[in-house]
Amino acid sequence: MLNLERLRTLDALARHGSVSGAAEGLHITTSAVSQQMSKLEREVGQRLLAKNGRGVRLTDAGRLLAEHAARILSQVELAQSDLEAQRGQVAGELRVAAFPTAARGLFPVALADLRRRHPALRVRSRELEPERGIAGVVRGDLDLAVVLDWYNKPMPLPDGLVKALVLDDPADVALPAGHRLADRDEVDLAEFADDEWITWGEGEFCHEWLMFTLRSKGIEPIVGHRAAESHTQLALVAAGLGVCIAPLLGRDPLPDGVVTLPLRQRMRRHVFVVWRADADRRPSVRAAVQALREAGESVGAAGENTGRAVSGGVAGAPPTAEPPATGASAAS
C-alpha cells in the first residue's frame, strides 16, 4: 500500500520543482525528503527521480504518480473537512499567513480571539507577501492567507481558491510635517510629480500598483528609497527623504514629523482572506475566517471614529458578526 506521507513528499517535489523547495514547503530537511523518495521508489519498484544538473527531475513514472498523488491528497483533504464538519469541533492545527501590515493590524486580535474561543485549535502564523501567501495556499503549505489588491488593480486568484473580504482599507499620502503641502486638507497625486517616492521592493505587487497608478496620472515616478515594511517607509518620510502611500491598517503609531493627508480621488486596498475550496467545510477554517472578518470590522469602526491616523491593532474584543459566507458566495 502506498504511504500517504511519501505521496505528500512526491506531491511537494512536483509542485516546488526541487528537493530544497519541497523541504521548505513541508518544514522538513532535504535529507528527509530524499529518504522519503527512496522509500517510495522501493515501494513502487520504479525510479521516480532522475538527476538534472545539480538538481533532480521527475521521471515519467514520477510524473504519473505525482498526478495521482495530487488527486489522492485532495480527496484526503475533503475527507478531513467532512469529518471535521460532521464532528463540528474547531480543533487541530491551522497554518495562516498575512502580509506584514495585516499581520500587525489583524492577527493580534483575530488569533487571540481564536485561542479564547477554541482552545483546542493550534494556529501557526507567519508573514508573507500576498503572492507568496497565495502560492502557499495553492501548494497546501498554508490553510489560509490574508492578501490584498487595490481598487484599480485586482489581484488574480488561481482556480480552486475561495476568498472573503476582511476590510476595505483606505490609504492616504504620508509626507514630512515640513512639506509644502502639509497644511492642506486633501491633496492630488499630480501635486507630487516632483517629489521622491518611498515605495516597496522592485516587482512587489504594491510597488507595481503604485507605479501603474502614478503613470496613469501622467507622473513618471521618482523612486528615492525602497522598504518592504510600512513603518520603515514612514521613518524615511519622517527624516524628510520623500513621501509614501500610507494605508490605514497597521499604520499607527505614526512617527513624529509625519503628516497623513487624504487624496481627492480616494484610494483603497481590498484586504481579503483566501483558502482552498476543498477545505471550505472545515470548522477551523470557517472560525478563522470569521475571526479575521470581525477584526477587520473593528479596524474599520476605529477608523471611522478616530479619523485618518488610526492604529490597525485594536484593543479589546471585536464586535460580534454574522458567520462568514464560504464557497462561491464568499467571493468579493
- pTM to 2 decimals? 0.69
CA distance 207 to 213: 10
C-alpha cell at 5: 506521507
**161 and 57, same domain (yes or no):** no
**78 and 164, same domain (yes or no):** no
CATH number at residue 280: 3.40.190.290
CA distance 62 to 166: 40
Domain count, the chain: 2
CB 190 within 8 A of CB 116: no
**13 and 119, same domain (yes or no):** no
**212 and 318, same domain (yes or no):** yes
**266 and 291, same domain (yes or no):** yes
What are the φ and ψ backbone dihedral angles of 184, each rounded to 5 degrees? -80, 160
**17 and 130, same domain (yes or no):** no
Q: Report the number of secondary-structure helices (H) and strands (E) in the chain.
A: 10, 11
CA distance 96 to 275: 10
Domain membership of residue 25 as a residue range: 4-84
**301 and 175, same domain (yes or no):** yes
CA distance 115 to 136: 23
**70 and 120, same domain (yes or no):** no
What's the pLDDT score for residue 150? 94
Q: What digits encode the pLDDT tens for the residues 99-132?
A: 999 999 999 999 999 999 999 999 999 999 898 8
**266 and 212, same domain (yes or no):** yes
**99 and 34, same domain (yes or no):** no
Least confident of 78-82, 160-164, 268-272, 298-302: 78-82
Q: How confident is the model at residue 15 (pLDDT cuts 50, 70, 90)?
A: confident
**For 192, which DSSP code?**
G
| Residue at which a domain ends, from 49, 84, 119 | 84
| Residue at which a domain ends, from 50, 84, 118 | 84
pLDDT above 90 coverage of the chain, percent: 50
Q: Which residues in 151-249 belong to E strands, given as ranges? A: 161-176, 196-199, 222-226, 244-247
**250 and 166, same domain (yes or no):** yes
CA distance 213 to 152: 8
At position 70, the amino acid (one-letter code) is A
C-alpha cell at 58: 521527475
Q: How many CB atoms lie within 10 A of CB 158?
A: 11
CATH number at residue 27: 1.10.10.10
pLDDT of 321 strictly over 60: no
Interhelix angle 4-16/60-87, nearest 10 degrees: 120
Average pLDDT, the chain: 85
CB 121 within 8 A of CB 91: yes
| Residue at which a domain ends, from 84, 114, 137 | 84
Q: What digits encode the pLDDT tens for the residues 133-163?
A: 998 888 788 999 999 999 999 888 888 899 9
What's the pLDDT score for residue 314? 31
**33 and 166, same domain (yes or no):** no
Q: What digits encode the pLDDT tens for the residues 179-230?
A: 999 999 999 999 999 999 999 988 888 999 999 999 998 999 999 999 988 8
CA distance 319 to 288: 15
pLDDT above 70 coverage of the chain, percent: 88
What's the pLDDT score for residue 313? 32
Helix (H) or strand (E) holding 260: strand 258-261
What's the pLDDT score for residue 124? 95
